Structure 1
Amino acid sequence: MSSPGLRERKKQKTRWAIQEHAVRLFVEQGYDATTVEQIAEAAEISPSTFFRYFKTKEDVVIQDRYDELMAERIRAAPPELTPLEVVRHAFVESFIAIGPDEVDQALQRARLQLGVPALRMRALDSLQDSIRYLAVPLAERLGRPGDDFRCQAFVGACVGAMINAMMAWVRDGGEVQQVLALIDDALSVIERGP
């Protein structure tokens, strides 16, 4: 897989900067009290530039690069892994790939998603898109069409387990090693039952 070009890297850097300033302001002032104009000013961009990167204020919290990271890792997982091992590999490797600052931001964004009703609803709405997106590379590995129902159902079950892991991670303080253990434990429930 080729690495992104300079233009794409600059766009991603701007996207992350906007998100970083937005999350900081949401934590400092509260989600509802923070305006797009304040986020744009903090990120040193115009409000119209904000909307080129994020369609809504909710999206600046909801959108991330983790689906892309996980899809890449599903495709790159060793061929001998079972579907559950592939998903576990993708989740764990994607989390390990992000740096400490991004882990902290993920924790802050997760807290916002759990604590702000509008964000919680928007996050739930976006889950089905994530499930469909992540089911495609798994279906490809299994020689099935990208919209395979069973692959979507399987990924949906894994995502459901991950939601519980992430909620426990947020509730218990956000230690990186803890989230990796919680991911493993949550996915083991799919494998072995409760």
Structure 2
Amino acid sequence: MATDHDIPSPCPSLRDRKKAATRAAILDHAERLFEERGYDQVTGAEIADAANISVKTLFVYFRSKEDLAFADTWLIDAVVDTLSRRPSGTSHAQAVGEVLNQALRTLNPDSGGLDAFHRGFGESEALRSRLLRMWADYEDAIATVLAREASLPAPDPAIRLAATQLIGIIRSCTSDEVREYVSGFPGEETDALRGWIRQAVEQVDNGLTRFLDRTSQSPGI
């Protein structure tokens, strides 16, 4: 009898492949233009023209220009996957730190390290607002993983606090304070950022243990 594993996954249709190619092209051109000229200096019409599509089509794929700057979910996808599969003896904070260090290993050394995650977008207020929403979404995703691990139907206050601290490790890496700290090590910025990640993981680890110890049934935090 055939099993689900014996049934090959259906190939994407030509229409789906074309849609995926168009979306990828839009993102590629948007990223290039943002980095060349800065987010605020690029219009949606210019991105559409570079991708050889109409402005109307552009906004079928993306609701706003801000969404173009934060469309890539590789970071939270990697964090969720690593947290879910972390081996025994690896803390939640260490798992997050490993994702960040892996990102540093795969990024171009000249890209500015993890800061390349939202490099070239300037100081747009719209982007700052969108970035805050993105961090909130990331926090929700991590809280869901922690709740599932604790066999809870939904995050409780302790889980929410833990998720906030874990996302804080990631947020700190692109903060003005850490950027300034890292810039104090010319030619060694990536090593300095890696050192900061290690410190952040240790600090969060020191504060998370009791919150994630599900053997304690105390309702207090």
Match of 1:154 in 2: 162
Structure whose CA Rg is larger: 2
Contact 1:23–1:105, Cα closer than 8 Å, also in 2: no
Question: Counterparts of 1:106-117 in structure 2 under 5 Å?
Answer: 107-108=115-116, 110-112=118-120, 115-117=123-125
Match of 1:88 in 2: 97
Deviation at 1:123, TM superposition (A): 0.5
The answer to whether 1:28 aligns with 2:36 is: yes
Partner SS state of residue 185, structure 1: helix
Question: Counterparts of 1:42-191 in structure 2 under 5 Å?
Answer: 42-65=50-73, 66-93=75-102, 95=103, 98-100=106-108, 107-108=115-116, 110-112=118-120, 115-167=123-175, 170-171=179-180, 172=182, 175-191=189-205
Partner SS state of residue 69, structure 1: helix
Partner SS state of residue 58, structure 1: helix
Point out where structure 2 has 5 or more consecutive residues left out of the alignment: 208-221
Provide the aligned C-alpha RMSD in A: 3.5
* CA-to-aligned-CA distance 1:124-174 (integer Å, 9 cap, x gap): 122111100122122222322343332222121122232222235644469
Deviation at 1:187, TM superposition (A): 2.1
> For residue 79 of structure 1, what is the amino acid of its counterpart?
S
Point out where structure 1 has 5 or more consecutive residues left out of the alignment: none
Q: 1:6 to 1:152 in 2, by over 3 A?
A: farther
CA–CA separation in structure 2 for the residues paired with 1:153 and 1:5: 41
Q: Aligned pairs, how many?
A: 189
Q: Percent identity?
A: 26
Deviation at 1:38, TM superposition (A): 0.8
Bigger relative CO (Cα 8 Å, ≥ 6 apart): 2
